[in-house]
Amino acid sequence: MLEAFVDRFLEEGRKEGRKEAREESLSQVAINMLKEKCDKALIKKYTGLSDAKIAKLEKTLQSV
């Protein structure tokens, strides 16, 4: 029973890690698109990121 719990816990961790890695990758794509002055609607379409997330990334770029 403990082994099943540990296996489930590890699998959930792997899924969460993949989710975070995917979001980080999409954020980097959005940053690259923002640097190229791409339209925000296009960035949203291709990355699936929210308007708020794109705005946050844009603000981060402006402060660098």
pLDDT tens digit string along 3-53?
887 788 788 888 889 889 999 999 999 999 999 999 999 999 999 999 999
pLDDT of residue 3: 86
Tell me the C-alpha to C-alpha distance, in Å, between residue 43 and each of 9, 17, 19, 57, 59. 34, 23, 19, 11, 15
Rounded to an integer, what distance in angstroms lies between the CA atom of residue 64 and that of residue 28? Answer: 15
pLDDT of residue 1: 67
Q: 43 with 52: CB under 8 angstroms?
A: no
pLDDT score of 64 more than 80: no
For the entire predicted model, the pTM comes to: 0.80
pLDDT of residue 32: 96
Query: Locate tokens 């993949």: which residue?
Result: 18
For residue 31, which amino acid is it?
I
Rounded to an integer, what distance in angstroms lies between the CA atom of residue 38 and that of residue 8? Answer: 41
